């Protein structure tokens, strides 16, 4: 089913496919898909949730090392044979389609929260200020990768994880990216 | 003509329109559009080039101040009644369409180069290391805005320019984001 969904998405994009076409391609009853997923975005959410991606946070012992490892993880996702087309399809659709935007946002926010553990670990080690905004640190780290992929259209080079991690870790050690008063 | 092109793009997206439909909407001969622009991406490039956007680099006297001003400029573009739908249409199309990607990339790279002047000015003032990678500093600044717009789907808050500028300026003062050997 996921194979048929990805093939449809790759060929036609989010706007050009639907559960009926995916059912036809997979050779299963449309009612089965409706019962299980309800709609295309439900299937897309399940698809990315079921990819066997190793998203466990790194534990290198330093903030620089952990942020660089997270950067390398983003590079791996960018080169993943299923995750990459999934991400492309959902990102393109999310610009104009609220349902696709909800799937993308939910997925990314869950990853930000999970990755934020490396910042909390650095706080616990006394490496950085206690009121560092852990999720904002992860956003600063991830953003330059996605900016190159989807905005400037530049390649993701192998030195990018260390480079961006070094900059973000230095910013945090200098006391920026603190939590603001609610 | 640009009004007709933007109306078409807003309603149908890049993949759903072409010069013929825009000519019809504008009530002009298709041959006129072909002569002037050749194709849809040519028209899109001209459209953004002719928007009266004030993209002149700020000159506040400090790197923090200039980067924050550039951040506020991105916020203004994000709220601009024509630039925003243009950016949305081109960004969505760029994921799968090489011609749209070329227009977007050319536009963004020209802006990065122009904005890099504020980093070179900070070098000239002796504020930051002489071999700072000016364009990479601008990427680090711009990326969190576009990440929120098109990836995490989070709002762009008014405190974002100062917050991101402070982090990036601190990273640069700490000696990160230097030019690497060619």
Strand, helix or coil at B31?
helix
Question: Model confidence over A148-178: pLDDT tens digits?
Answer: 999 999 999 999 999 999 999 999 999 999 9
Half-sphere exposure (Cβ direction) of A27: Cα atoms closer than 13 Å: 0
The CA distance from B31 to the nearest CA of chain A, in Å, is 30
Is B152 exposed, middle or buried (CB count within 10 Å of its CB: 0-12, 13-18, 19+)? buried
Question: Contact, A59 vs A66, CB < 8 A?
Answer: yes
B168 touches chain A (CB under 8 A): yes
B98 touches chain A (CB under 8 A): no
Delineate the domains of chain A, giving CATH numbers in brackets: 2-39 (1.10.10.60), 51-173 (1.10.357.10)
Interface confidence, given as ipTM, is 0.93
* Residue of chain A whose Cα is closest to the Cα of B163: A177
Query: Would you write out chain B's pLDDT as a tens digit for each of its 182 residues?
Result: 788 988 888 777 777 888 999 999 999 999 999 999 888 888 888 888 888 788 888 999 999 999 999 999 999 999 998 899 899 989 998 998 898 999 999 999 999 999 999 999 999 999 999 999 999 999 999 999 999 999 999 999 999 999 999 999 999 999 999 998 65
Query: Which chain A residues are closer than 8 Å to B146 by Cβ?
Result: 143, 146-147, 150-151
A10 — pLDDT class (breaks 50, 70, 90): confident
Distances (CA, A) of B45 to B13, B42, B73, B129: 15, 5, 20, 36
The CA distance from B167 to the nearest CA of chain A, in Å, is 5
How many CB atoms are closer than 10 A to CB A130? 10
Cα(B72)–Cα(B10) distance, integer angstroms: 25
Question: Model confidence over A32-78: pLDDT tens digits?
Answer: 999 998 888 888 888 888 887 888 889 999 999 999 999 999 999 99
Q: Which of B142, B154, B166 sits opposite A147 (nearest CB)?
A: B142
Q: Which phi and psi angles does A12 have, rounded to 5°?
A: -120, -10
Half-sphere exposure (Cβ direction) of B59: Cα atoms closer than 13 Å: 6
* Residue of chain A whose Cα is closest to the Cα of B159: A180
Cα(A165)–Cα(A163) distance, integer angstroms: 6
Query: Which chain B residues are closer than 8 Å to A180 by Cβ?
Result: 159
DSSP designation for A39: S
């Amino acid at each position: 089913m996921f194979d048929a969904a990805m093939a449809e998405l790759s060929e036609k994009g989010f706007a050009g496919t639907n559960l009926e076409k995916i059912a036809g391609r997979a050779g299963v009853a449309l009612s089965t898909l409706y019962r299980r997923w309800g709609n295309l975005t439900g299937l897309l959410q399940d698809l990315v949730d079921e990819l066997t991606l190793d998203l466990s946070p790194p534990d290198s012992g330093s903030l620089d090392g952990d942020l660089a490892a997270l950067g390398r993880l983003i590079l791996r996702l960018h080169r993943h044979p299923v995750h990459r087309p999934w991400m492309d399809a959902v990102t393109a659709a999310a610009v104009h389609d609220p349902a696709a935007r909800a799937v993308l946002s939910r997925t990314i926010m869950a990853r930000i929260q999970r990755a934020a553990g490396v910042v909390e670990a650095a706080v616990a080690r006394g490496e950085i200020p206690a009121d560092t905004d852990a999720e904002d640190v992860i956003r600063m780290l991830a953003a330059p990768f996605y900016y190159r992929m989807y905005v400037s259209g530049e390649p993701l080079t192998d030195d990018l994880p260390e480079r961006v991690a070094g900059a973000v870790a230095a910013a945090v050690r200098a006391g920026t990216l603190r939590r603001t008063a609610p």
